[in-house]
Amino acid sequence: MRPCRISAAALLVPILAFNGPALAADAAIDQGREVFQKWCAMCHGSGNGMGATKILQEKYQGALPALLEERTNLEPEFIKVFIRRWNPGMPAFRRSEISDPDADALAAYLARNNPAAD
């Protein structure tokens, strides 16, 4: 009788099935961080931004973080709609600039600090 050999791939299937959604979410957040750095950080990031962070500091008076990356109340759908529409002081981003998958990733990144839904 020959011993049964189990391949490494067969052992990974249950692990990936259990962790797959978390790994996909992490990948989306990483992609969203890259989108934020490319399109948003110049105005909304820390450091010497182009003023949006200072404007949000004045607007929120400490009630909410001015840095978008620190917020805990940014809803993904709101983010995706907001970046497509012109707003005073902020351009609308075309799909040729921020694709729909990149918008989804950006929304996941900015919503990553939100409390988990019950």
| pLDDT of the residue at 54 | 86
Q: d(Cα 18, Cα 98) in Å, to the nearest integer?
A: 31
Is residue 102 within 8 A of residue 31, CB to CB? The reply is: yes
CATH number at 24-110? 1.10.760.10
| pLDDT of the residue at 61 | 93
| pLDDT of the residue at 21 | 61
Quote the pTM value. 0.75
- Burial-class residue 70 by CB neighbours within 10 Å (0-12, 13-18, 19+): exposed
Domain extents in the chain = 24-110
pLDDT 10s digits, 14-33: 555 555 566 667 899 999 99
SS3 89: coil
| pLDDT of the residue at 71 | 94
Is residue 53 within 8 A of residue 66, CB to CB? The reply is: yes
| pLDDT of the residue at 68 | 92
What tokens appear for 68 in the block? 């978008």
- The segments of the chain whose pLDDT lies below 70 read 1-24, 48-50, 118
Using the Cα atoms of residue 33, residue 34, residue 37 and residue 39 in order, give the sign of their dihedral: negative
